[in-house]
A and B are shown apart, each in its own frame.
Chain A
């Protein structure tokens, strides 16, 4: 096995180990919040578990998976050795050290602040330092992605960068932009507070800085799924990508519009004027465009595949698709979850409707459906595609792979649909338990139990996923996996405008958007001292 392959596999195994542990914790949390386990555990244990669950899923699973997938794309799509392999290993071990630093205080009960921190809550300073190390490691990864693309462009002047790499670099660039917010919050506010160097913390500023990060981070997690949609799925379905340009425009729009929109997480916050909130809400509406472009392009690509396989009529091509292939199945199930989750997201985006669902289970349901559902199911699909190529072994049968994907889909729907409904009933989130002696809350009980059952199905699927990968490692070794991975476009691009082959222009536009949408909202905290209500005692 080549060194670069070992690098990718190491990242993936760390990611999915954290994922499995987080699934166990998630199921436990659902149990103790349901009437079935209402007497189990203390609130302290619950928040410890939520913190571990959130950190594992949002930081460890995603960062390690995305780094591993990025290295894989850089090697396979560019067809060149990875530059700076040593640096990649340094980043890997640095991130591992960071994760260890994070896990210890959580386990000791000294970090129960959830993965979004919520100052003036503070955790052990090692918790934050560990997270900073993970982020710095991911910055090294970003640098390696830029170098890889730059070297390829130098060796292939005038040629369009392969779409998978273009999307990966767009993601790396967006990640650099977006981590500025949380890094500033941690370095200038939270870590000094955790060290006891300051006695107070301006939570308005902290929330604003976190909102800088909070939405684009979600697209950082999402873009690998979109890279798979554009570059892996059409080939897996036996067709071609309908439009390469559409893919480039999609990744660029994600870079441009996922960043200046984070304030829609602060619609109910008092520290910003409504005008700024309006601008960011309007820009948020434009984030739906790349997703709509993708739905259109991938549906068109799948239609090409379906018709090539003999599908006829308006919808006949859907039935003709090779649904027995895990990647195609995951895409179909992912699209369904993306549809429902996206619809819920449009509701969160509206100022008035957001007021109704703010801080309720609706929000929890939304991000589990979008991220846990459509994104993670594509992580599974990517893993199932990539693993044979990394190990030189192939899946012996696809039945259990399909079963695993179906279980994940069913579990996610059964878990999140009741949550949405309970959110509309006013069920609040971020609480350790519910008082089922209260008649209103007691009426939520049955639906909470239903969603717990969904959680158990998800847990079963998670174990099956890890089992499927483990079994693959035991399969007989083959010389090489011959089938190609990346899809060709219907009209493969021979030359694209520089604007669609690099990010210089888009960086400037992102700067303009960020300055206009976050400039004054952040500067106001430095111009005049915040009112007392915004400044909280740390201890």
Chain B
């Protein structure tokens, strides 16, 4: 609007400016488009196994893989990692559980591995003595529904109804906890104690003790870890880290376990083997 050629400004002096400026600016734009929309997507797409056409469309933002196009919504029902919901009904079943009825079932089915008193015969199986009833109920229920699987436990759990699961849980929960092993208590390394009590904010690892406490812990299904066998805890942490075990709500344990080093997994298992400080 302000660019008025005047008689004193010969058209010739302006023409090269017009041409070269347009050429340079449009050229730079074309160069950027060539590099950003064609060359780089094709080269990078090749290593990602994406064909050239798809890569170019994605760079422009017009193919799926880019939110520019409406994604097909997933209509399948959400499948929670665990079917256990702590409704008043479920809590009532737990409250109505009878340890004496549970004892009969334990002697019939469980005691071969987990022991009559909840002290298991092998580090492959967890000790259940003094474990939280809600925790045992959740795990048995998860085995039953397939949220967690184990070559022995899946079949065992499928044979139990909810009330029996609650009875068994109540029986083991009522067994006396074993006394902490005083000789090993003092030996926990500082970094493991820190991990338990403070976590590691640098890696976004919350403290174990935020949920796993001597008595009742964080969410109701959180198990009590004290006095568990080292091998068992290490195995579970590894299962979480690899995603092989996946019945933890919100993936809490999978996220945490994946961030722990092997040394830390062993250290934590040893810590909980010793019992609480």
B61 CB contacts on chain A under 8 angstroms: 271-273, 275-276, 520-521, 524
Q: How far is the CB of B271 from chain A (nearest CB, A)?
A: 20
Interface residues of A in 152-176 (CB under 8 A from B): 153, 157-158, 169
Instruction: Write the chain B residue with the least CB distance to A524.
Output: B68
Q: How far is the CA of A277 from the CA of B3 in the complex (A)?
A: 32
A295 CB contacts on chain B under 8 angstroms: none
B77 at the interface (CB under 8 A from A): no
Interface residues of A in 481-515 (CB under 8 A from B): 495, 497-507, 509, 512-513
A531/B37 in contact, CB under 8 A: no
B18 at the interface (CB under 8 A from A): yes
B112 at the interface (CB under 8 A from A): no
B73 CB contacts on chain A under 8 angstroms: 532
Q: How far is the CB of B231 from chain A (nearest CB, A)?
A: 32
B41/A274 in contact, CB under 8 A: yes
A212 CB contacts on chain B under 8 angstroms: none
B6/A158 in contact, CB under 8 A: yes
Instruction: Write the chain A residue with the least CB distance to B38.
Output: A275
Overall SS of chain A's interface: helix
A516 at the interface (CB under 8 A from B): yes
A502 CB contacts on chain B under 8 angstroms: 2-4
A275/B36 in contact, CB under 8 A: yes
B3/A497 in contact, CB under 8 A: no
A439/B201 in contact, CB under 8 A: yes
Interface residues of A in 207-254 (CB under 8 A from B): none
Instruction: Write the chain A residue with the least CB distance to B2.
Output: A502
Interface residues of A in 404-453 (CB under 8 A from B): 438-441
Q: How far is the CA of A146 from the CA of B18 in the complex (A)?
A: 22
B70/A528 in contact, CB under 8 A: yes
B25/A531 in contact, CB under 8 A: no
Q: How far is the CB of B241 from chain A (nearest CB, A)?
A: 24
Q: How far is the CA of A462 from the CA of B69 in the complex (A)?
A: 50
Interface residues of B in 186-230 (CB under 8 A from A): 198, 201-202
With A524-B62, A531-B71 already in contact, the answer to whether A279 and B3 are too (CB < 8 A) is no
B2/A499 in contact, CB under 8 A: no
With A169-B2, A502-B4 already in contact, the answer to whether A273 and B59 are too (CB < 8 A) is yes
With A279-B29, A499-B17 already in contact, the answer to whether A270 and B198 are too (CB < 8 A) is no
A524 CB contacts on chain B under 8 angstroms: 61-62, 68
A509 CB contacts on chain B under 8 angstroms: 21-22, 25-26
With A271-B68, A273-B66, A509-B21 already in contact, the answer to whether A283 and B9 are too (CB < 8 A) is no
B56 CB contacts on chain A under 8 angstroms: 275
Which of A273, A276, A504, A524 has the most chain B CB within a 10 Å cutoff?
Answer: A273
B40 CB contacts on chain A under 8 angstroms: 274-275, 278
Q: How far is the CA of A16 from the CA of B21 in the complex (A)?
A: 39
**Closest 5 pairs (CB-CB, A-B):** A504-B3, A278-B36, A273-B61, A158-B8, A275-B59
Residues of B within 8 A of A (CB): 1-9, 13-14, 17-18, 21-22, 25-26, 28-29, 31-33, 35-37, 40-41, 56, 58-62, 66-71, 73, 198, 201-202
Could you jot down 21 A-B contacts, CB within 8 Å? Answer: A146-B2, A149-B2, A153-B2, A270-B67, A273-B61, A275-B40, A278-B32, A282-B28, A282-B32, A439-B201, A497-B17, A498-B14, A499-B18, A502-B3, A504-B1, A505-B3, A513-B29, A516-B33, A520-B60, A521-B61, A534-B67
